[in-house]
A and B are shown apart, each in its own frame.
Chain A
Amino acid sequence: MSRPIDGPETGAGHAGHRLASLTLVPKSDAKATMKDFKSDQEVRWCPGCGDYAILAAFQSFLPELQVPKENLVIVSGIGCSSRLPYYVNSYGLHSIHGRAPAIATGLAASRQDLSVWVITGDGDALSIGGNHLIHALRRNVNVKILLFNNRIYGLTKGQYSPTSEQGKVTKSTPYGSLDTPFNPLSLALGAEASFVARTIDSDRKHLTSVLRAAADHRGTAFVEIYQNCPIFNDDAFAPVTEPGARDEHVIRLEHGQPVRLGADREHGLRFGPLGSLEVVPAQTAADGSLLVHDAHAADPSYAFALSRLDRTDFAHTPIGIFRDVERATYDDAMSAQIDAARARQGEGDLEALLAGADTWRVG
């Protein structure tokens, strides 16, 4: 279902609006602060790791949810990013490599009163856990998936990952990696994702706005976060984070706003042949063919075309919300089936179940 384009989205979470993913989650009356969501555990990432910035942004955002901390659950897999649950004072499950989306599916589908977040990385979500990721997205379970993409394996000390650029020289690929990398957003869109966004560890304001939008989405929200690994892949995202360079490369997507890029926003986008997007000078195409961003477009083709702008050289890198559409969630549908069965057939009766259809009496 497509919603009308009505200008930039206002900050959700304010002024009485309950974020869409939380309508069945109890609302906390107590005023919480970032400190309430810090656990007593010492944070043990490498100095300078982008994970610190993401954790801080996440913790300072959490009070905005107005969710009691006992109703917040963070599920992770294996990898540097997957240590995050230990540092947040909520319920947390640090599981096994790649399986967090599956585990979170069982939890979210059976407990709609919880706000469930999955923390994963590029190796965890896209390599060993690729299958669970795509199926979680297609099912549209009400979980928020934050994929910390550093384009490298950190915890195993520096092998190339499924998002590393082809030819990458690492410990396991001294002659260069051979495989073509995944584009996580293209993959998610191909897997029928209903919410797809990208943000950057070092841009706290943008990161927070994307987290807010994810929480305001009922269904699976998929958020790729570019995350710098200073030890094994330092400055991998410099073209989109360095002042000076980033204005050339980053396209900030805002729903209802014209898509502009370049230091002086002098370029726009329009559809080229065969459905791809092309960059054109804004003033040469004043004929209305320049794109205005529509995150709610029912058809994912446009969002997919946007995701393809991101080459490994970061020439044009959109950030923000690519796609945000309403679609029935798996957990809502599962509960509805149970409710409907009970309404139609009544509450289950053990005696009738055990008796089955054909019985006979002895004695």
Chain B
Amino acid sequence: MTKQVQQLDRVIIRFAGDSGDGMQLAGDRFTQETASFGNDLSTLPNFPAEIRAPAGTLPGVSSFQLHFADHDILTPGDAPDVLVAMNPAALKANLLDLPRGADIIANTDEFTKRNLVKVGYEANPLEDGSLSGYQLHAIPITSVTVKALEGYDISKKDAERAKNMFSLGMLCWLYNRPADGTLRFLETKFASKPEIMKANVAAFQAGWNYGETTEEFSVQYEIKPATLPPGQYRNITGNTALANGLVTAAQLAGLPMFLGSYPITPASDILHELSKYKRFGIRTFQAEDEISGVGAALGAAFGGALGVTTTSGPGMCLKAETIGLAVAVELPLIVCDIQRAGPSTGMPTKTEQADLLMALYGRNGESPLVVLAPATPGDCFTTALEATRIAVKYRTPVVILSDGYLANGSEPWRIPEVADLPDLRAEFSFAPAPQAGDEAAGRKPFLPFQRDPRTLARPWAIPGTPGLEHRVGGIEKADGSGDISYDPDNHDKMVRLRQAKIDGIAADIPPLEVDDPDGSARVLVLGWGSTFGSIGAAVRRVRLAGGSIAQAHLRHLSPFPANLADVLKQYDKVLVPEINTGQLALVLRGRFLCDVISYNRVRGLPFRAAELSGVIQDVISNV
């Protein structure tokens, strides 16, 4: 039967179920099909830290939200148009986010008395009329799947587990997604278990056919491909982009890369990814702890490698002393902090931007370094290149502040041409080779802290280089010679030199770009890091409603772009939304005496565009 096809410009789908229901996988596959179909998209996986929380409970609910459209979009969306709820807990945990009129696809098999009681439903919401404001599709997903797989030689449990593929098939039909990629994926994933593979393929096809034949769905939807800039594309998460960026940066710099890391959510995927790339000569070291991870990376950097460590907030605390040593000995080091909700263990799988002050200031003494923050998942790639460029050129640690949302979220990414990538070739010591007669003339043969007058960087003199033998350490060094020095004036000078080196980088980074289309805005909204999408979507809404608003986004947080002070002065009000309690705002007030308006929500989730647009409107109307 041919069903009516309705054109949509964008859709937000949320898959929700128990942690063990395979919702992340279903969401991920739907995303891949959507990406290869050519829609623009943005995703938000949201899952508990527990690997398998008790089945059927609210803490065990895992969800995956996908926003896709025929035009370019910036966020995973505020409110789902469709919720797939695999059990009562998934319905209850997500219902509040649904606007009236949204579609709910519920797996009736799991709405048993026992499961309802577990989450505090006194009556079955699928039957008591409480969902009458929504388009409810009550489908016995588990039993239909099991029935469809009757002919296969698999256990009942394995048949039930295929219900995520049934759901995926149904959704793929509903939104006209291609199926080839998923079929190929299943063939590879279950290559060693052919019967399970066939059953999953059958479940997927059964779901597709169910959508086509059932009267449950009266229309099929079509979302045309987006018109993105021409090029080769792939879908990419922030962690994958960061890992690929680091590999690329090391190649462009001509440096062997050494990663010292300790597993921690949500950063571990970078370690997993990089450990695959042995053929690129990448050495990955799973250390005994966070301190050893960064220590080994610094040791490798002393030996001339691109030293990298990856972690999240709690690990940053432990690495602080070693990062301080890197500041003192002035060696390149890349520190990736994939921020998560804190303090302490906090909410490991939830996002936050609350490590900014720690990255800037969280070490003993005056300890300046470079801090960068990617704005989108794909931007993590570019940030890795920029971090490497600065670290190597200026012999300094660089902190990359990504976060859980960027790390696990994904977007279509235009694959760069290798030939177009910047030349990051590292220059080892630029110090003059020692001359005969130096010693007789009282000249030190080599001065490990003699600075390049342009960059204020010291030589990177690596072991194995004759004549440049030297000793460095955390003890204060005499300017130039690098010998131990407790001289008061020398210390004052070195403190200022280290700061001046970092400050000087401002002349070597792009100025802050302001998006102010009509030039008449009196309010600037200024963000950093992963809020780029939410702020951008909110700004669009405000402009569509006729509001005038300027937007700027900081990728360099230390040093700031050189024109930041001027930009701040151009606007009557500056609004700074952050997923913390006002850390960038504090720095801006202190540095620029600019009384910015701080807007903060710390819920472990990205901002909603609707919420931010309201905040922006309020500020505009009060100018």
Contacts and interface: CB of A to CB of B under 8 A. Distances in A.
Interface in B229-248: 229-236, 240, 244, 247-248
A107 B467 contact: no
A158 to B, nearest CB: 21
A73 B463 CA distance: 7
A135 B240 CA distance: 29
Interface residues of B, number: 72
Interface stretch (B189-197, B206-214, B294-302): B294-302
Contacts of B565: none
Contacts of A135: 287-288, 292
24 contacts: A39-B471, A70-B469, A71-B463, A78-B474, A86-B471, A86-B473, A92-B471, A94-B475, A99-B321, A99-B322, A102-B295, A105-B295, A106-B297, A107-B463, A110-B283, A110-B305, A345-B279, A348-B247, A348-B251, A350-B247, A353-B244, A355-B232, A360-B36, A363-B229
A90 B471 CA distance: 8
B279 A341 contact: yes
A106 B464 contact: no
B472 interface: yes
B258 to A, nearest CB: 5
A340 B235 CA distance: 30
A111 B464 contact: yes
Given A96-B325, A102-B292, A106-B299, A350 B234 contact: no
Interface in A90-106: 90-96, 99, 102-106
A14 interface: no
A70 B474 contact: no
B296 A102 contact: yes
B281 A106 contact: no
Contacts of A73: 302-303, 463
Contact of A93 (B235, B240, B281, B299): B299
Interface in A104-149: 104-111, 113-114, 131-132, 135
Nearest to B259: A106
A90 B463 CA distance: 9
Given A86-B471, A353-B244, A106 B289 contact: no
Contacts of B280: 347-348, 353
Contacts of A94: 471-475
Contact of A131 (B288, B297, B304): B288
Interface residues of A, number: 58
Contact of A103 (B32, B296, B466): B296
Contact of B415 (A107, A337, A355): A355
Contacts of A132: 288, 291-292, 295
A334 B251 CA distance: 19
B303 A359 contact: no
A107 B301 CA distance: 8
Contacts of B298: 103, 106
Nearest to A26: B464
Nearest to A82: B473
Given A91-B469, A109-B300, A363 B288 contact: no
Contacts of B283: 109-110, 334, 338
B228 interface: yes
A274 B31 CA distance: 64
Nearest to A337: B278
Given A73-B303, A358-B32, 18 more contacts: A73-B302, A75-B299, A93-B299, A94-B473, A94-B474, A102-B288, A102-B295, A103-B298, A105-B299, A106-B297, A107-B299, A109-B283, A111-B304, A132-B288, A334-B285, A359-B232, A359-B233, A360-B232
Contacts of B341: none
A103 B231 CA distance: 43
A341 B280 CA distance: 9
Kindly name the residue among B227, B303, B324 whose own CB sees the greatest number of chain A CB atoms within 10 A. B303
Nearest to B473: A94
